[in-house]
Amino acid sequence: MSSKQSFKISQVGRSVLLALAATASIVPVSAQETPAQPAEQEQAVERIEVSGRLMSSAASAAAERREQPYVAELLGMEQISRAGDSNAATALRRVTGLTLVKDKFIYVRGLGERYSSTLLNGAMVPSPDPTRNVIPLDMFPAGIIESLVVQKAYSPELPAAFGGGNVNIRTAAIPLQPSFNVSVGTGYSSLNSGKAYSYKGGGDDWMGSDDGTRAMSPDLRAALDQYGTINQINIAEALGGINAGNLAKAGTIVRELGLAFNRDIDVQRESIKPDFDGGVSFGNKFDIGSSVFGVMAGVSYDRSTQNIEEQERYFSVSGDNLVPLNLYDDIKGTEHQVKLSGMLNFGLELDENHRFETASIYLRDTKDEIKVKNGDSIETINEANRFNTDTSLRYEERSMFSNQIRGRHMLPWLYDISLDWQYTDAKAERDAPGEVEYRYLNETQADGSVTSFLRRNQNAVNYSFGKMEDNTENASWNAKLPFTLGKAEMTLNGGYSYFERTRESETNLFNFNTVGYSLQQLGQNFSEIFSDANIRNTANGFQVSNVTTQADDYIAAQMIDAAYIGMEMNYDYLYRLNFGVRYEDFRQISVPLDGKGEVSGNIEDFPLEEDGFYPSLSLTWFASEDLQARFGYSKTVVRPDLREVTPVLFIDPLTDFKVTGFSGLQTTDISSYDARLEWYYDESNYSVGVFYKDLDKPIESIELSGSDGNLLMSFRNGDTGKVYGVEAEFLQQLNMLEGNNWLDNFFVAGNFTYSESEITIQPFAGTNLTNLKRPLSGHSKHVVNFQLGFDSDDDKHNATLTYNVFGKRIAFAGVNSKDDAYEQPFNSLDFVYSYTPFESTSIKLSMKNLLDEDVEITQQGELLQRRVEGQSYGLSFSYKY
C-alpha cells in the first residue's frame, strides 16, 4: 500500500474500532492494561526428552492424557519425529477422529475446519490465510513442536469458539541440559521424473521472498494515488475534463503505465532441483545463584518442488444426466515451495515458585505455482476444433510472527494460590504480488496442425495484487485456589482474557485489452505480445484498466472480553468433578472500502455484537487403578469468519472456486455430550467413547448460480444439525505371547471413529439446493489410523508403518437437481526407518503414499476434480549433542 492509502486505512481502522466499541458501549482496553487470552492447558507439565523407543514416548503421552480433566489426545515430540511427520498438520492426522484436508486443515470428528480452533502455547494467534479463520497447520514445522494437545471436550478456560476440538501447539521447552542439534535432508517425488515449469522470478526466490519483481511498481502505485484508478476516462476527468486533448493525454498515460507491469513471465521447462531441508538448534541453561536461566534457539529451511497433475470439470444437469460445461482433463504444473522458521526462547526460574518465559516464533511459507490447463470452457465445449490453454502464475507469501511472555507462580504464603499469565502480540501477513492469468485459444486446422493465439478480449490478461495483514493482541491470567473439605480435594479456579484483532486487506485487479492486436501478433509468446514497442504502438489500441471493485478492499476488527469461574473436586480419588462457566462479550465489524480507502456505506450498519454464558461439566470416575470413565457436557459457539460476512468476491486458493461472503451469517450454537472409558495397563492403553453434538444454525458452504460455467460458492446458515458417533483407540506392545521374544520389539497402535451427521436447511434465494436434509459438509462417517512400530533392543534401529483412511465426505452441496459432490476416501500408507549408528548421529528414510492414491471429488458418478498425489521419498541426517 502507498503511504497515502496506508494513512487512510489506518484512520478507517481507528474509526472502525471506535465504532465497534461504541456499539458495544465499552471503551477498548489497551494491551498494557488488559490480560487476555486463556492460558495453555499444559498445567506446567515438564518432560525430559528420551531419544529411542517410540513405545515409551507414546506411553508417556498417554500418561499425561490420563491426567487431563477433559477428553483430550496428545502427541509428543518423539512420536512426531518417529512417524516422519514434517509439520503439525501431518502429525495430527494420526490422532483419533482427526482427518487432514488439503494438507493444511484438521477436521475433528468429521466436522469441517471451521469447527476446530488453534492455540499457540495457549494463545490465540492470527491466520495468514485470508479465506479461513483457522491457521494452516502445515506452517508449523515439527522441529519447533514440543507436543500437540487436542482437546475434544470444552473447558471454560478455552475460547468459547469451540466446535469439534481445540489444538494447542506447545513449542519446545527450555532444555534441562545443554543441546546442539543439526540436520540436513533431501527428498524426491514420483511426480518429479520430468521437468518442472518455471518462469523468470526474482533474485530472492530461494529465500521465499519476492524482491519486487512481481510487486506493484512505484509508478503504478503513484498513478492510483493520484487518479484513484487508471481508466482512460477517469484520468481525463482528473486532467480537467473529458475532451479530445485530455483523452489523448490520458491514453498516453495508460499506455506508459502498461510498461509498469512485469511481463517477462514466459513459462518454460527446466530440470528439477533436489528437495532440501536443514535445521539447527541450540539450547543451554545457566545457574545464577539459586536461579536458573535458559535459552533455546533454532532455525530451519525447507525448499521443495512438486509437479502437478490434475483434472477439473464442471457440469449442469439435464434430466437425469450431467452435461459438461468445463472439461480440463489435462492440467500440468509445478509448485515451488520455500519454508522458513525461527524460534528464540528465554526462561528464568527464580526459584521453585516463580518462572518466567518468553517465546518468539517466526514462520514463513511461500508457494510459487505455475499451472497450465488444456481443455474446454463453456465457450469451446461444443466446438470440436477449438480448445483452451489457460496459464496461471500464483505467488503467495504467508508469514506469522509471534512474541509471547508468560509466567507461572506459586504463592504458598497466600493459601497456596497458583497463578499463570501470558501476553502475546502477533502479526500474520499474506502477500500475493502480481498473480497473472491468461488464455490462449487453440484451433485445429484442416491439415491437422494447431494454431494458437492469445484470446482477443477486453480482459485477455488478468493481474492481481493482494495484501492482507492481521494484528492481534492477546492476554490472560488464570488463578487456582486449592483447599480440602473432608475427603474432597477442591480447587477453585477463575480467570480473565482479552483479545483484539484488526485486519487490513487490499486487492487491486487489472486487465489487459487485446482487441486491437492482430492474430499474428497474438500468436507470439506473452513477452513478445506485450513488448514495450507493442504497448506504445497506438495502432494496437492497447489499454490496461483497473477493474478493482469497492468490495475488493476491506477492513475488519474483533474484540473479545471473557471471564470464567470453575471448580474441580477430587473425592477420595474415586471421582473427579470439573465444572465451570465462561462469559464472553464478542464484538466484530467488517466494512468494504472504496477506491480511495474510505468506508463504503454507513459504518453503523456493520457491527456485530453478541454475548453469552458457556458452561461445561466433566465427571471422571476412577473405577480402579487402571480403569477410568469420563462424562462431559458443554455449550459453545462457532462464529463466521471476517471474510465470510464481507460481501467480497475472492478465489479460494485451495479449490480455485469463486467465493463470495454473505453479511447475514449468524453464529452457530453447539451443545456437546461425551462419554468415554479408558483402560491403562503398564505401557498399553485402550479407550472407547461416544459423543453427540447438537448444532443450531450450522454454517455451510453452498453453490450459487454462476454464469460462466464455474462454481460460485457462498455461505448460509442451516436450521439444525447434529453429529454423533463412537471412537476407539489402542496402544499395545506385542509382548503378551510367551516364547516369542522377537515380538517384544514390536507394538501396534491405532484408532477408529464411526459417526453420523445430518443438517436441515431451508430454500433461499440465489440457489436451488437438491437435498434439504443431508450429511454435514466435510463429514466422514469413518476415520481409521493404524501404526506398526519396531524398536531394536539396542535402540539403533527404529521403524514405523502408518496407515490412514477417511470415509467419503461432501465437498459441496448439489444444486439444481445435481447430487452432492463427494471427496472420495484416500488411503495413505507411509513408512519411516531410522538408523542410529552412534548415540549422537541418526539417519532417517521416509516413504509417503506407498499405495499411490489420488485425491478425487465426484458427483453422480462423474469426476469433478482429481489431483495426483504421487509417492515421495526422503532421506535425512541429524547430529545431536
Asked if residue 846 has pLDDT above 80, the reply is yes
Residues 339 and 251 in one domain: no
Residues 160 and 234 in one domain: no
C-alpha gyration radius of the chain = 29
Residues 627 and 699 in one domain: yes
Asked if residue 7 has pLDDT above 70, the reply is no
Position 90 scores a pLDDT of: 65
Residue at 350: amino acid letter:
L
Give the three cell numbers for residue 793.
533392543
Position 633 scores a pLDDT of: 95
DSSP codes, 487-529: TEEEEEEEEEEEEEEEEEEEEEEEEEE-TTS-HHHHTS-HHHH
Residues 724 and 821 in one domain: yes
Give the three cell numbers for residue 660.
463470495
Structural domain includes residue 306: no
Residues 426 and 479 in one domain: yes
Structural domain includes residue 342: yes
For 24, the domain range is: 3-175
Q: Is the Cβ–Cβ distance between 577 and 571 less than 8 Å?
A: yes
Structural domain includes residue 270: no
Q: Which of 653, 683, 258 is nearest to 466 (CA)?
A: 653
Q: Is the Cβ–Cβ distance between 313 and 326 less than 8 Å?
A: yes
**How many Cβ atoms sit within 10 Å of the Cβ of residue 613?**
12
DSSP codes, 369-411: EEEEEEEE-TTTTT-TTEEEEEEEEEEEEEEEEEEEEEEEEEE
Structural domain includes residue 311: no
Residue at 743: amino acid letter:
L
Task: Reduce the DSSP state of residue 527 to 3 states and report it.
Answer: helix
Structural domain includes residue 773: no
Residues 240 and 383 in one domain: no
Residue at 831: amino acid letter:
F
In percent, the amount of the chain with pLDDT more than 90 equals: 38
Structural domain includes residue 842: no
Give the number of C-alpha atoms closer than 13 A to the C-alpha of residue 50, restricted to the C-beta side: 12
pLDDT per position as a tens digit, 187-205: 989 998 889 999 999 999 9
Position 661 scores a pLDDT of: 78
CA distance 19 to 21: 5
Residues 451 and 521 in one domain: yes
Chain mean position to CA 879: 31
Q: Is the Cβ–Cβ distance between 368 and 395 less than 8 Å?
A: yes
Containing 605, the helix (H) or strand (E) segment is none
Task: Reduce the DSSP state of residue 6 to 3 states and report it.
Answer: helix
Give the three cell numbers for residue 832.
519411516
Residues facing residue 185 across a β-bridge: 277, 876
Give the three cell numbers for residue 120.
499457540
Task: Reduce the DSSP state of residue 777 to 3 states and report it.
Answer: coil
CATH of the domain at 638: 2.40.170
Residues 488 and 611 in one domain: yes
Give the burial class of 300: count Cβ atoms within 10 A of its Cβ; 0-12 exposed, 13-18 middle, 19 or more buried: buried
Asked if residue 509 has pLDDT above 50, the reply is yes
Q: Is the Cβ–Cβ distance between 313 and 813 less than 8 Å?
A: no
Q: Where are the beta strands (DSSP E) in 178-274?
A: 179-189, 196-198, 268-270
Residues 542 and 664 in one domain: yes
Q: Is the dihedral of CA 102, 108, 114, 117 positive or negative?
A: negative
Chain mean position to CA 742: 43
Domain total of the chain: 3
Answer with the one of 142, 157, 175 that is the final residue of a domain: 175
pTM: 0.85
pLDDT per position as a tens digit, 337-362: 999 988 899 999 999 999 999 999 89
Give the number of C-alpha atoms closer than 13 A to the C-alpha of residue 87, restricted to the C-beta side: 22
Residues 430 and 355 in one domain: yes
Containing 174, the helix (H) or strand (E) segment is none
Residues 553 and 468 in one domain: yes
Residues 497 and 620 in one domain: yes
pLDDT per position as a tens digit, 356-406: 999 998 989 899 999 999 999 988 998 989 999 999 999 999 999 999 999
Lowest mean pLDDT among 7-11, 251-255, 638-642: 7-11
Q: Which of 282, 272, 281 is nearest to 186 (CA)?
A: 272
The β-bridge relationship of strands 165-171 and 116-120 is parallel
CATH of the domain at 123: 2.170.130.10
Q: Is the Cβ–Cβ distance between 187 and 275 less than 8 Å?
A: yes
Which residues are within 8 A (CB) of 404 and not within 5 positions of it... i.e. 6 or more apart? 120, 121, 123, 358, 359, 360, 422, 423, 424, 425
Structural domain includes residue 308: no
Structural domain includes residue 198: no
CA distance 806 to 99: 7
Residue with cell 514495450: 532
The mean of the pLDDT values for the chain is: 83
